[in-house]
Amino acid sequence: MLHETPSALAPVLLGVSCLCLAEAFRLGTHARPFRSSAPSHPPSLSPCLSHPSSFITSHAATGTQIAPTDAERTAHEPADTDAALDPLGVDEQQRLKSDAEKYLLNNYGARNLLLTEGRGATVYDASGKAYIDFGAGIAVNALGHSDLGWYSALMDQASKLSHTSNLYLTQPQIDLAKKLVQLAPFASKVFFCNSGTEANEAAIKFARKLALSKARKGLLGKAKKVNFVAFEKSFHGRTMGALTVTSKKKIRDPFAPLMGGDVTFCPWNDLKEAKRAIDGDTCAVFVEPVQGEGGVNPADVGFLKGLRELCDKSGAVLVFDEVQCGLGRTGKLWGHQHAGVSPDIMTLAKPLAGGLPIGAVLMTEEVASAIEPGDHGSTFAGNPLVCAVANYVVNAVSSPEFLSGIESKGRHLRERLAAVEGGRIKDTRGEGLLIGVVFDSADEVNKIKQTCEDRGLLVLTAGEGQVVRLAPPLNIPMEQLDRGIDILEHAIKELG
């Protein structure tokens, strides 16, 4: 939850920051708070120096956000001897788990791991045990945990203005929209929302509104333009509209009937079937350049190019869902850049603010021209607090040097996995730092996942449970990446 910071507290926050910085100079240290050579909370330092807020003035006191150096973008991994700053007692852990069972809706199933802290690509559970994070909050924490520049951007904006509603303009919102349009040449306008599901809901509405606009101008003839085409193994969200274009029957069927209009799910990477499905009545085609939840399945270059041609011919809107694969995850800023094609609409979310809730819909001028005041909206959309942080994240991940590092680490990860012996791995696929490791069964994957957790590595699953999904922070150091792969390799070999 985002908490507003009254403007009267701004001088207090600034004053505290200045006092902390003064204390740092008094102690003669300019060290960063997260160091791999020493514990993260040395007793000789003032308590405020153990937290990134103690360095806020180096970035934010002037009111400007300073782009991070390469060193600042590196996830600062604690040494093996480091422990969490504030592990919880056994009684407190039990109380929290009991309260979770009592008060939280059981819509996610069993969640036994209670996390309390994170630094770089490392997270800590309530007992103080460290884990290398190969999940990054399901591909959200692009810059890891407790990144100093991220924290500075957050605190700087919190000391000024945290929320305004959609009735007013703010600089962070305008700057972020401009930045995204400049980085996505196909786009003309941006709509902000709060999640990937919301972004896809908006994309559905915008595609429908464009069709209505064309119909009113007499441009559609007898075509109805109310149908959608999506693909097997797709995942676009769980609300009623986004769920309509999500293929998994297990999560669709309990909520039928869904959105009006027909939805056809074509086999993945099958252009012939897509050609049969996409016609004059097709409103939009939804596709992930790399499917995430579906099993980490990259789209073939020819498949995406063919979809572009089919949409151009039929007048359907081509929507690229880059909620998981966008913003550097694949080693290119946008997942569709691997194919050299552009969409009419692109949806973004997960890593955009590096851990805060935000979604975005980028669209062509043709789509934008069909949208009128009142067609869509959100109270929290374009929140200045979140947009300020997103500006920092986008600046970091869009750097050519940063993207090159993701490509290098992705190649290294796949090379390491290719060298794993034993024949248990059936396939390794993906791009950059979104990798799927395929096994024979979900049972095997569950055993691997648990062994990894026991040894200090967190991984994700995908597909029908038979895929280990790896999506670490994009700035994870190579040495820590290797240590995580070592643990994964050990877990695979333990299968026998």
Domain borders along the chain are 170-397
State which CATH number among 3.40.640.10, 3.40.1390.10, 3.30.300.10, 3.50.50.60 fits the domain covering 170-397. Answer: 3.40.640.10
**Is residue 231 pLDDT above 70, yes or no?**
yes
**Is residue 43 pLDDT above 70, yes or no?**
no
Q: How confident is the model at residue 26 (pLDDT cuts 50, 70, 90)?
A: very low
* Residue-wise pLDDT tens digits, 102-145: 999 998 988 889 999 999 999 999 999 999 999 999 999 999 99
Phi, psi dihedral angles at 91 (to 5 degrees): -65, -40
Average pLDDT over residues 212-216: 93
Average pLDDT over residues 186-204: 98
66-80, 199-213, 233-247, 286-300: the lowest-pLDDT one:
66-80
Q: What pLDDT, on a 0 to 100 scale, did the predictor assign at position 421?
A: 85
Q: How confident is the model at residue 49 (pLDDT cuts 50, 70, 90)?
A: very low
**Is residue 261 pLDDT above 60, yes or no?**
yes
3-state SS, one letter per residue, for the chain: CCCCCCHHHHHHHHHHHHHHHHHHHHCCCCCCCCCCCCCCCCCCCCHHHHCHHHHHHHCCCCCCCCCCCHHHHCCCCCCCCCCCCCCCCHHHHHHHHHHHHHHCCCCCCCCCCCEEEEEECEEEECCCCEEEECCHHHHCCCCCECCHHHHHHHHHHHCCCCCCCCCCCCHHHHHHHHHHHHHCCCCCEEEEECCHHHHHHHHHHHHHHHHHHHHHCCCCCCCCCCEEEEECCCCCCCCHHHHHCCCCHHHHHHHCCCCCCCEEEECCCCHHHHHHHCCCCEEEEEECCEECCCCCEECCHHHHHHHHHHHHHHCCEEEEECCCCCCCCCCCCCHHHHCCCCCCEEEECCCCCCCCCCEEEEECHHHHHCCCCCCCCCCCCCCHHHHHHHHHHHHHHCCHHHHHHHHHHHHHHHHHHHCCCCCCCCEEEEECCEEEEECCCHHHHHHHHHHHHHCCEECEEECCCCEEEECCCCCCCHHHHHHHHHHHHHHHHCCC
Rounded to the nearest 10 degrees, the angle between the axes of helix 384-397 and helix 171-183 is 30
User: Measuring CA to CA, how many Å separate 339 from each of 68, 112, 306, 307, 333?
Assistant: 30, 41, 11, 11, 13
Nearest to residue 488, comparing CAs of 450, 448, 440? Answer: 448
**Is residue 48 pLDDT above 60, yes or no?**
no
Q: What pLDDT, on a 0 to 100 scale, did the predictor assign at position 224?
A: 86
The rounded distance, in Å, linking the Cα atoms of 150 and 256 is 41
